[in-house]
Amino acid sequence: MATPLQDKIAFINGGSRGIGAAIARRLAADGASVALTYHGSAAAAEALAGEIEAAGGRALALRCDAADPASLREAIDSVASRLGRIDILVNNAGVFRAGAIDTATVEDFDYTVGINVRSVFAATQAALRHMPQGGRIVNISSCNALRMPMPGAALYAMSKSALTGLVKGLAYDLAPRAITINNVLPGPVDTDMNPEHTEFGQSLHRFMALQRHGRPEEVAAMVAYLAGTEAGFVTGADLLIDGGFAA
């Protein structure tokens, strides 16, 4: 039986842990060959690639610095050379630096924008050189692009909001090639970066209609939909999966 993403090639920028790893597993289960990047977690990335291969899929793990556009281009070109093309690009790499405006530095600003915004632009530009008609681009943004109800996170919220404007513009640039581009905006998700069981994790539930963290697999399911043929009429959109955080 054919799988939804059979014979597709997916590149996941930031795919070794948490939401990125769940996306890699789901796209592979749906039939895609998956290339996932990591920066500091080589063991986790190689283990995930091995897991996907053992389950009958195809996976590559590549070291890549999301803050460096040249590193991104090199990784994407390498995958396209080895696998033939890039059908699906998922921009998942992201960082969070907390700090009030009177203590935040220009370096904090540049670091946040460099990974959360510039890497999306750089990876998209590089992947488009290898992407055929009807390709798919999915960015992992955040519900904080729409609502930030606590102090010390303005830079993060700003960087995720920037993806909304970028995607709305690129939707028109890419439409002649039937390439769609969308943002997925998760709320709190139970990962090692934001575990549900901590005091801070529990405190987030008061902002939500569904008072629990999401699961990485739930976010991956939305990404898989956007990566598939059924989402061909969805582009330039912000899709919330946040338990009502922004409601």
What DSSP assignment string belongs to 146-195?
T---STT-HHHHHHHHHHHHHHHHHHHHHGGGT-EEEEEEE-SB-STTS-
Q: What are phi and psi of 123, to 5 degrees?
A: -65, -40
In the annotation, is 156 catalytic? yes
CB-CB contact of 122 with 72 (8 Å): yes
List own/partner pairs for 127-133 with CB under 8 A and 24 or more apart: 127/11, 127/76, 127/86, 127/89, 128/174, 128/179, 129/77, 129/80, 130/76, 130/77, 130/80, 130/85, 130/86, 131/85, 131/86, 131/87, 131/89, 131/177, 131/179, 132/85, 132/87, 133/177, 133/178, 133/179
Closest CA to 90 of 41, 46, 45, 127: 127
Return the number of other C-beta atoms located less than 10 Å from residue 197's C-beta: 8
CA distance 136 to 227: 6
CATH of domain 9-241: 3.40.50.720
pLDDT in the model for residue 161: 98
Q: Is the pLDDT of residue 41 over 90?
A: no
Q: Is 63 helix (H, G, I), strand (E, B) or coil?
A: strand
Report the first-to-last Cα separation within the chain, whole angstroms: 39
Report the percent of the chain where pLDDT is more than 70. Answer: 100
Report the percent of the chain where pLDDT is more than 90. Answer: 96
In this prediction, residues 97-121 reach a mean pLDDT of 95
pLDDT in tens, 195-208: 999 999 999 999 99
Give the model's confidence band at 40: pLDDT under 50 very low, under 70 low, under 90 confident, else very high.
Answer: confident
Q: Is the pLDDT of residue 80 over 80?
A: yes
pLDDT in the model for residue 172: 98
Q: Is 138 helix (H, G, I), strand (E, B) or coil?
A: strand
Give the model's confidence band at 65: pLDDT under 50 very low, under 70 low, under 90 confident, else very high.
Answer: very high
Give the model's confidence band at 192: pLDDT under 50 very low, under 70 low, under 90 confident, else very high.
Answer: confident
Q: Is the pLDDT of residue 116 over 90?
A: yes
pLDDT in the model for residue 1: 66
Residue from 38, 111, 156, 225 carrying the catalytic annotation: 156
Give the model's confidence band at 38: pLDDT under 50 very low, under 70 low, under 90 confident, else very high.
Answer: very high
pLDDT in tens, 150-179: 999 999 999 999 999 999 999 999 999 999
Give me the residue label for tokens 């943004």. 141
- How many CA atoms within 13 Å lie on the side-chain side of 147? 15
Higher pLDDT, 41 or 226: 226
CA distance 102 to 56: 52
In this prediction, residues 208-213 reach a mean pLDDT of 97
If you count them, how many residues does the chain have?
247
In this prediction, residues 173-195 reach a mean pLDDT of 96
CB-CB contact of 136 with 178 (8 Å): no
